[in-house]
Structure 1
Amino acid sequence: MKNRKFITVILPLVAVCGLILLNALKSDPPLKHRNIADNAGLTLPTGFTGTALITGIGSARHIAVTPQGNIYVKINRLKNGKGIVVLHDSGDKAEVVSSFGNFSGTGIYIKNGYLYASSDENVYRFKLDAKNAVIDPEHPETVVSGLINRHEHEAKAILLDNAGNLYVNIGAYSNSCQVKDRQKGSMGQKGCPILDSAAGIWQFKADKLNQHYGDGVRYATGLRNVMGMDWNYQDNQLFVMQHGRDQLHDIFPEMFDQKQSALLPAECLYAIKKGDNAGWPYMYYDQIQHKKVLMPEYGGDGKKAGGENAIDPAAAYPGHLAPNGLLFYTGDQFPAKYKNGAFIAFHGSWNRAPEPQAGYFVVFQPFKNGKPDGQWVVFANGFSGSQAQTESGRAEHRPCGLAQGADGSLYVSDDTKGTIYKITYKK
């Protein structure tokens, strides 16, 4: 790397996390502030081009792209009273076609002639015409209502499979199921009653209207909060990215120093089958020790193993990077090594202080035969604006949603300034 200041910042972290972060970053050019005309400010591998199609559309969360070049964007806070924005991609820019939907939220997905979209409590759908345009934007059908919202990890990501099922994450309304949430020294609730109603993935029928939260099947449990979800058709399995717990040092300073608290626990990629338990709140995954560790709230000390009945992660990443988007790339535009691999949008940390904040990038995780294969690398960097803005957490843009275009382009949403990026490859 040419930027010595960047290396000086990263090396202390590398010493602690066993070269994990350095290995991921070293194949990419150094992060620097770029003119918006230069790959839209992004640092990308050779041959790739980044374009900012549009900005200022609102807090853009998850996105869905049609074969006709339209982009449906879910807005987390209503803009002009609307929660879904429709854009048309004309190649190097996008224009607003329309906006509709009087509910805010995160999730959006196109499947079997419908546009599905979520608020923090409900999932709706809109019928699409032959050109994938919404037929009646003022009258959505309610698919599921009454999803739990306790104003912590309340956002609902959604996903549909090819067997007629709808998947919805129900985030835990807690950090670690303490008796007193996020309070120093407070121990975990016995039996963690939160698991009965949250901290997992719920499955519903995609084509059945007016289902209630209680009609769903708890497909998987022990997941603190999931934003990134995608279906891997190589092994016909659901994959999710979990947000790991916070504040190890703040809550148990006698067990964890600030550097450990900044790096732990891992943000984990899980391959999920029906009935799986990922272990929250009784354990977390330590990517430095490469093992499942008992939570301090339940008698752990940072070393004791835990989660004997919990599944192992498929891959693990440094803590607090906030994975908000997951996409398996199935297109043909990018080089062959990207085919069937996973892109992950890391929204960026807020709780690594006094250590530098980190994230605000999109990484690529290679896969082979439906399983992670090899070291992850940072694919798209520079969303924050500069290394100083990354370290301070004052990012200009924060990647959130991912989508693949019909031509194999990769779209990335930003929920800070409402920018939609398009990443293309040309030999």
Structure 2
Amino acid sequence: MNQIRIAISTWTIVLVLLSQSFTGFCQGTNAGLKLPQGFTAKKIIDTSGKARHLSVLPGGLIYVKMARPWQGKGILMLRENDKGEVAVVDGFSNYGGTGIYIKNGYLYASSNEEVFRYQLGEDGRVINPDKPERIITGLKMGRQHETKSIVLDNDGNIYVNIGMPTNSCQEKDRQPGSMGIPGCPLLDSAGGIWQFRCDKPDQTYKDGIRYATGLRNVVGLDWNTQNNTLFVMQHGRDQLHDLFPALYTQKQSAEVPAECMYMIRKGDNAGFPFIYYDQVQGKKILAPEYGGDGKKEGSKEYIDPVVAFPGHLAPNGLLFYTGSQFPERFRNGAFVAFHGSWNRTPEKQEGYYVVFVPFENGKPSGKWEVFADGFSGVSEVRSPRQARHRPCGLAQGPDGALYVTDDVKGAIYKIEYKQ
């Protein structure tokens, strides 16, 4: 009997160990990400830098913009071979930043004050990396929302986000009870999208057009080729409860205002800082700095978002999927990379995932859904420092794969569909 008990105990230990090993193996698949059925993911590289936006070319070339120069290089050139192995093969530029975009034989990249372009050779490599052409200079940069994201249309124009260097245009920034500066004069050079020519050197504000205003800060943006229109993701304002505790509870402040996707036409005004969009009420609400109480509606002259996500998720990447690798329902839809919140206390932090929004004829056609989750590496995030990875940039590969950057440890993920 004792021998039987010993045998049973031994097998119990073996089964537990096997179970733990199998669980660990499962958790290690897909680079730790949770994906829809049929999709796979792998982490193709860790650069140890802060990888922001990226572009992927045929032949396995990947260009990555770094928030700060990594080993002295602000732009990294990676090469992916036929086996899916990736290595850093080159780097150039001595400036950090976010924006990078490739079109018509040129690579465009932004610092926090300027935009440059580099000519590409037939092999996709930059011809003269040490002598870029500066096409835009003198852009406003503050201590907040200083990064410049970029995108090009099909008519020779480049669009640049210039974020508002404050939270909500208060007379004393982020100070409880401080009211808004009348008219918010900062909007003359920030808080919107500016349009410039993509081939004219040394342009300044006077050469550009304020294409859209009333946008607090846009990091993710993309050009929708279905309706030839610019789409942007706005970072909503912070600290409603902290600044106006008599008007907002902590829970309200954790959930509102929405992170908004806007379809932008020339001359549009999204209303910041005078209003914010409350996705719970489904209304544009007058900001407390300008006389609001959390219920008064704002002016109808301001545009509505086409999608209103929960508050404080920090959308840093936007990409319209035009490839054929993913199932048909993903065609022409939008992927959004949410970097993750820091200010949803006392609620848990949210975001740290990539979502998908279905589109039809250039407009959202259904509810958004979480597409890739698990970047944070923990079951619950109470502080952003707990997150091991935070999604930032999105790019589509020539074969239709989806690439996602992480600006905590510089990882790049490749997501593919394999039936």
Query: Structure 1 length as normaliser, TM-score?
Result: 0.91
Structure 2 counterpart of 1:39: 30
Q: Among residues 406, 411, 415, which one is paired with 1:414 in the alignment?
A: 406
Partner-residue secondary structure (3-state), 1:391: coil
**Structure 1 position 274 matched with structure 2 position 266:** yes
Match of 1:6 in 2: none
CA distance in 1, matches of 2:319, 2:76: 21
Distance in 2, matches of 1:127 and 1:410, equals 25
Matched AA of 1:140: P
Structure 2 SS opposite 1:68:
helix
Give a deviation string over 1:308-363, Cα, whole Å, max 9, x none: 21001011000000000000000000000000000000000001112111100000
- After TM superposition, the structure 1 = structure 2 runs for residues 254-293 of structure 1, keeping only pairs within 5 Å, are 254-293=246-285
Whether the 8 Å CA contact 1:33–1:382 is kept in 2: the answer is: no
Q: Is residue 397 of structure 1 aligned with residue 389 of structure 2?
A: yes
Q: Which amino acid aligns with 1:89?
A: E
- Written as runs of structure 1 = structure 2, the 5 A alignment for 1:255-404 is 255-388=247-380, 390-393=381-384, 394-404=386-396
**Which residue of structure 1 aligns with residue 188 of structure 2?**
196
Match of 1:217 in 2: 209
Other-structure match for 1:63: 54
Please say which structure displays the higher CA radius of gyration.
Answer: 2
Once the two structures are TM-superposed, the CA of residue 198 in structure 1 deviates from its matched residue by 0.4
Matches for 1:128-207 after TM superposition, within 5 Å: 128-207=120-199
| Residue deviations 1:279-322 (CA, integer Å, cap 9, x gap) | 00010001011111110111111111103210010110000000
**Residue 259 of structure 1: SS of its match in structure 2?**
helix
> What percent identity do the matched residue pairs reach?
63
Instruction: Tell me, in whole angstroms, the C-alpha distance in 1 between the residues paired with 2:383 and 2:377.
Output: 11
Aligned length: 395
Structure 2 unmatched runs, 5+:
1-22
- CA deviation vs aligned residue, 1:169-210 (integer Å, no higher than 9, x gap): 000011111110110001111011111110000000001112
- Kindly indicate whether the alpha-carbon contact (under 8 Å) linking 1:34 and 1:41 is maintained by their aligned counterparts in 2: no
Distance 1:159 1:392 in 2: 32
Q: What is the CA–CA distance in structure 1 between the aligned matches of 2:222 and 2:166, rounded to whole Å?
A: 24
Distance in 1 separating the partners of 2:276 and 2:183: 16
Q: Check conservation: 1:48, 1:425, Cα contact below 8 A.
A: yes
Q: Among residues 86, 91, 94, which one is paired with 2:77 in the alignment?
A: 86
Partner AA of 2:216 in structure 1: R
Provide the residue aligned with 2:243 in structure 1.
251
Task: Summarize the Cα distance change of 1:185–1:35 in structure 2 as closer, same or farther, 3 Å threshold.
Answer: farther
Q: Which amino acid aligns with 1:100?
A: F
> How big is the shift at 1:36?
7.1
Aligned to 1:76: 67
1:39 is paired with a residue whose SS is helix
Gaps of 5+ in 1: 1-31
Partner of 1:96: 88
Cα distance in 2 between the residues matched to 1:147 and 1:244: 22
Give 1:89 deviation, angstroms: 1.6
After TM superposition, where is structure 1 displaced by more than 3 Å over at least 4 residues in a row? Answer: 32-37
Per-residue Cα deviation, 1:22-51 (whole angstroms, up to 9, x for no partner): xxxxxxxxxx99877410111000000001
Q: Could you state the TM-score of these two structures normalised by the residue count of structure 2?
A: 0.92
Q: Is the 8 A contact 1:34 1:42 kept in 2?
A: no
Alignment RMSD (CA, Å): 1.3
